Structure 1
């Protein structure tokens, strides 16, 4: 049975080209249950933490100064992930950072993580709760998950909380029963979540004279949104 690895990181800021990972946390799931195996490391980024990022996670330059480099912890991280399926909330951001760090390794660079092989729990949440807030705090509130420990963002704590959220997104344990076929198709669910939804097209019921008068009025407006609406009227 393939494991699922819930992963979270903290970084010096938001640009993967120049910023660095400073903390990695992973939680292993088997059959959608936490096994107790975790991976947790702080990392010396060899650059300053941006004040905005510091406000989020509280990891100072002084605290990180004696921590190992990413190149040092990379073999352990890669070994922990193994052939497991990565589960990440807002996967593109984190995958960019991981691949950038892998590309900086001096030797034995691992293959880049392919985004389509990662289950993005944010996409699942957006599909399930369209139009609602789907950040981790909002999902905890929706599913009654205790986040009182989360006074600051932390990679391992966030990964543990996300593991709980993930099970709820799949439908929950429901009295201890296994999730069965729903859980077995999580990658398919994530792919479905990423599928764009076709916009609804509304047909106009205006008479020709009314249509022309309305189009003439809208043409006097500057907004490009109204220009798109005129095109829809012409096609109706």
Structure 2
């Protein structure tokens, strides 16, 4: 069975989702980030897994459901922090971030790296050119180190790294990260019953008053 790994920041104003400001205030952006994180963690909690790990920059809050092992993020760039998060795991591990509250247990229940599986890795591209999911049968940090992050070709470079290592890669459906207000509206529309969509609706209603 797979280890599910979430990498996230504590949703504090001014530290998360800064590209949502404006139109949202830092406090509102952090509130949306908290809702997205809560949606993500509860989806992971509802997905069968060998282990559930949260690699966290900051401190846990009431948004954290039971059943997670919390480990601190390492330092350095995002590639180094992702590599360190994988290093805290063993066996087939699927990494996701806190930016896709529309994710479902069905999307996370991918088979790879197990006896009889057709794939050694899985890869979920993001609409912005990055990736929302990365699964490794053997969580080797070297597969991430040096990959340029937050660039238009991040996803392409990361997938090419997997293929160059001789891994058979299963593709997951593309998802949209929440980075901008436009993203937030699109993701809320895709997951209308999520905490994220409800939080966005409340913020919109407060602004309209």
Same fold (TM over 0.5): no
Q: TM-score, normalised by structure 1?
A: 0.28
Q: TM-score, normalised by structure 2?
A: 0.31
Larger Rg: 1
